[in-house]
A and B are shown apart, each in its own frame.
Chain A
Amino acid sequence: MRTSSTRQTNTTKTVNEIKMTFSANRLLIIILLFIMLGFGLLSFSQGSMDFEPLIFGLIVSALFVLIYVMMKGIFHDFDRPLFLTTVFLLGLGLLTQYRMNPKNAKSQLFMLCIGVVLMFLCMGTIKFDNIMRKLTVPIIIGSLAIMAALLVVGKESGGAKNWIIIGGRSFQPSEFVKIAVVFVLAHYLDKRTKLKKLLVPLSFAMAIVFLLIVEKDLGAAMLIALTTLIVYFAATGNLGITLAGLFAGALGGIASYKLFSHVRLRVEVWQNPWATYDSSGYQIVQGLIAIASGGLFGAGLGLGSAKIIPAYHTDYIFAVICEEFGIIAGVLLIAFYIVFIIRGFLIALNARNRFLMLFALGCTTLITLQSFIIIGGVIKLIPLTGITLPYISYGGSSMIACMIISGFLQGIAADSKKYRAEAEGKA
């Protein structure tokens, strides 16, 4: 009896797996078709045929197919829905960037290629999580050092002193430090320990947040502070301390509102951007007008005028997408992030051990909060804080960091499935 039932489940499993791979293939084709249609439209948009967008689109599609094939070859059990969501976001991002400024799209594609390499590397490291964890202390010291160094050698851009120039290219270290914070938290929160022993990771996170505030990178500070609280809460279940942390954060927010004029300005602009249209309200107002001008179905790719919004290619890319593809696309884009979140959480829940579970949770939380903060800011649900929209916004550091996060999540997914299969095999 028993043997037959096992065999039965085995067969259904294989059938399911085949189905899933098959539908993943198909979905990938649909996504690539969408991207190619977009680039095709751009090719024809000038009246005469311009092959450049089409070629660019083909290169992008080929890259996606290559990643897919390589992932299937190397890590058989990677998470397909998460992969497809990522591909869609990346494709839409490159398409939108190309439409706004081909030069940006090309440099973004270059960064994506670096990101892909790093993604594969990160996927590979998950297997050796015990060795990786030995690096915790160097990671802490390195992160603190680089954030402190920014105070001295950092270059100011957009009001925040958070850039560093290496070899002619500018990098935003906070993008990578946020992953480091999540890693460190997962490492220390692995075992249920007393608060005393958590002094190291928590004060590390607090120090990073403090440095970011000093450097006026409020978006990243808020992101890291909230992520820390969430990972801490999930690991310990200590509601009291979590609420105390939130409360302290709120107090800090109120204090900075009272103390710093730039924070006050931000809140005032949020409440009524129209009043200060000529100065600080300009960006938000133009963003809202762009979203409203697209209507339900959008002005059409290439037919919007969102270029007048400052930071249209980074912070305001959501408004650009809303204008050209419509509110419907805005809602769908949010839905894609929801899929990302669900898959990320499922990966965390199925992870091989507690460290990987917390790490996956932290990585997913970073993407979740980041997209919420920037989309919410653009549509004026919350005060605007400059931060990139994951996988879509222009920005090398952000793109690479997102790919690293993808790598870790995919690695944990593949690893847990393999581990489970091996465990079953042994049993």
Chain B
Amino acid sequence: MNTRNLIKALLALFLCMFIVLSSYLVYVVGKHGPRWFASPYNIRIRTQKSNIIAGSILDRNGVVLAYSDSNSLRHYNSDISLRLSVSHIVGDDYGQTLGAEALYAKYLLGFDKNAIEMIKHIDQNAAPTGNYCVLTIDASLCKYAYEQLDGRNGAIIVMNYKTGEILVCTSSPNFDPKKMERYIAKEIELEEGAMINRATSGLYVPGSVFKIVTTVAALRYIKDVENMEFECTGELIFDKSTGKLLGDSKEIDKDELTDKYLTLIDFQGEEHGTVTLKDAFVKSCNSTFARLALQIGSKNLYKTAKDLGIGKEYLFADIIALSGSYTEGRSEYETAWSGVGQYKDIVTPISMCLLAGAIANDGAAMEPRLLKSVQTSTGAEVYSAAYRQSYSPLTSREASILREYMLEAVNSGTGRRAALEGYNIGGKTGTAELTVNGKNESHAWFCGFIDSEKHPYAIAVVVEYGGSGGSVAAPIARRIFGKIVD
């Protein structure tokens, strides 16, 4: 090619580069802009607070959670227990947490007002007021849920799986927004991590609730797995140096191996005998799921987990949430544990709640909604949440199989204590085992749903160091569901 043509080619290249540049600008601001704006590092929010009377934050029933007086001072609900139960959702006035105060600052501080409205305000002598934000949560239910944690650390989240509205979201330990100034000044000590909303960003080992993921993967990658039978002797034995599966406790004599082995045992060493996939799920049989995980392979497990939202980058409009992660095992031993929700598996309550909701909702996960509507101080609505599907993790067939398994788990399995008279409750328990300072501890998990057109709610409960999921988390879920349908 001669120089003139090469110059033309270079021009084309440069033009493409600049088109990429401007497209990226629009794309990245469209995708992340609202989060960047709501960042606690944004000084504009702080500045605006002195120019405007910030709007109030209300719950779905009109309970005022936060409001400003005529001197622009921020006040929060006077019921201490209620205030604490929604502190992460509401946030604080100092930009320390990512609650509604920060995320919806655009509305509360009137950044969304157009030029004409702003000029109108110049006319009036009164200080301009921001818009009101109505949240989807029910504060009294949040308070009730918080009381169920009974001083223990943990998180509870309830979502309407048909619309995505978050009805309950509470996290413990929490902070009192009234005392934020004193926390910052270090006058009062705050428990570590108290400002983190564990329901949306708490990274937890899932334990057996992860078997939902393994089950979906089994349905996808093992042909006819529903009709297979598995043998459970309560223990699997692996070679210590290679991590390879040697066999179960019936096939292998541990004494011959003279300590050169690792084991994977069932909860409290139970033997489940011959089981189908459904039995294994209902009884939460570790050996069977470990064998399934090995058969599926860690690559496929990784893929399935990602499809189901674990390891996905959540970019929801209304809340900031993490989804967790699945790490591929390097040996059969590690992969086996990863299939039963241990090893390096990490989930968040919201990711499990979304998954349980998707199972109840024919496989479609709705985008979580926290902002129900935005109103002006005179009551005119300027924004109303539109419900939309976030992603579709499961096929309708997979969802119906899982729904059946989860209903059975509550009906006759490990989730019995979540059963609620007159309602079809489905769920999966989890007891996430951890070693803390050489001591064996466990987080209690439950995630499930009410199978009902009238009360389409999904739940995730975590109680840190609470004990077993079936005896601790499941009853909490039952009580909250009972309160909701009441």
Let me know if A330 and B25 touch, CB within 8 A: yes
How far apart sit A289 and B44, CA to CA, in the bound complex (Å)? 9
Q: Is B439 an interface residue, CB under 8 A from the partner?
A: no
A41 close to chain B: CB less than 8 A = no
Whether A63 sits at the interface, judged by CB under 8 Å, is no
Confirm or deny: A413 has a beta carbon within 8 angstroms of a beta carbon on chain B. no
Q: Are A292 and B34 in contact (CB under 8 A)?
A: yes
Residues of A within 8 A of B44 (CB): 289, 293, 305
Question: Of A293, A342, A348, which contacts B37 at CB under 8 A?
Answer: A293
Interface pair A331/B26, CB less than 8 Å apart: yes
A266 interface residue per 8 A CB criterion: no
- Taking a contact as CB atoms closer than 8 A, the residue among A292, A349, A358 that contacts B8 in the complex is A349
CB 8 Å contact bits of B391-415 with A (1 = contact, 0 = none): 0000000000000000000000000
Bound-state Cα–Cα, A230 to B24, Å: 24
From B7, B17, B18, A348 is in contact (CB under 8 Å) with: B7
Q: Does B240 touch A at the CB level, under 8 Å?
A: no
**Interface assignment of B127: CB less than 8 Å from any CB of chain A:** no
Nearest CB on A from B5, distance (A)? 9
Flag whether A180 is at the interface (Cβ < 8 A). Answer: no
Q: How far is the CB of B97 from chain A (nearest CB, A)?
A: 16
Q: How near does chain B come to A59, taking the closest CB pair, in angstroms?
A: 30
**Interface-forming stretch among A19-27, A108-116, A375-383, A402-410?**
A375-383
Query: Are the CB atoms of A234 and B36 closer together than 8 Å?
Result: no
B1-38 at interface with A (beta carbon < 8 Å): 1-4, 6-8, 10-11, 14-15, 17-18, 20-22, 24-26, 28-29, 32-37
Size bin of chain A's contact surface: 35 or more
Interface membership of chain A positions 227-242, coded 1 if the CB is closer than 8 angstroms to chain B and 0 otherwise = 0001001110100000
Q: Mask for B379-400, Cβ within 8 A of A = 1, else 0?
A: 0000000000000000000000
Interface residues on chain B, size class: 20 to 34
Does A327 touch B at the CB level, under 8 Å?
A: yes
- Complex-state Cα separation, A274 to B39, whole angstroms: 10
Q: Are A327 and B26 closer than 8 Å at their CB atoms?
A: yes
B22 touches A335 (CB 8 A): yes
Residue of B nearest to A327 (CB): B29
Is B17 in contact with A372, judged by CB distance below 8 angstroms? yes
Please indicate the chain B residues that have their CB under 8 angstroms from the CB of A285 in the complex: 39, 41
Contact of B7 among A288, A295, A345 (CB under 8 A): A345
A288-B26 in contact given A234-B3, A235-B3, A381-B21 (Cβ < 8 Å): no
How far is it, in angstroms, between the C-alpha of A330 and the C-alpha of B28 when the chains are bound? 13
Q: Which of B244-278 contact A (CB under 8 A)?
A: none
CB neighbours (8 Å) of B32 from chain A are 288, 292
A289:B3 contact, CB within 8 angstroms = no
Smallest Cβ distance from B1 to chain A, in angstroms?
5
Residue from B29, B34, B35 in contact with A291 in the complex, judged by beta carbons closer than 8 Å: B29
CB-based contact A372/B7 at 8 Å: no
Q: A322-B25, A345-B10, A379-B28 are in contact. List 18 more A-B contacts (CB 8 A).
A: A233-B6, A233-B10, A234-B3, A235-B3, A237-B2, A285-B39, A288-B32, A292-B29, A293-B37, A293-B42, A295-B33, A327-B25, A334-B18, A342-B11, A349-B8, A361-B10, A372-B18, A375-B25
10 shortest A-B CB distances, which residue pairs?
Answer: A292-B36, A292-B33, A334-B22, A345-B11, A292-B37, A234-B6, A331-B22, A289-B42, A288-B36, A381-B24
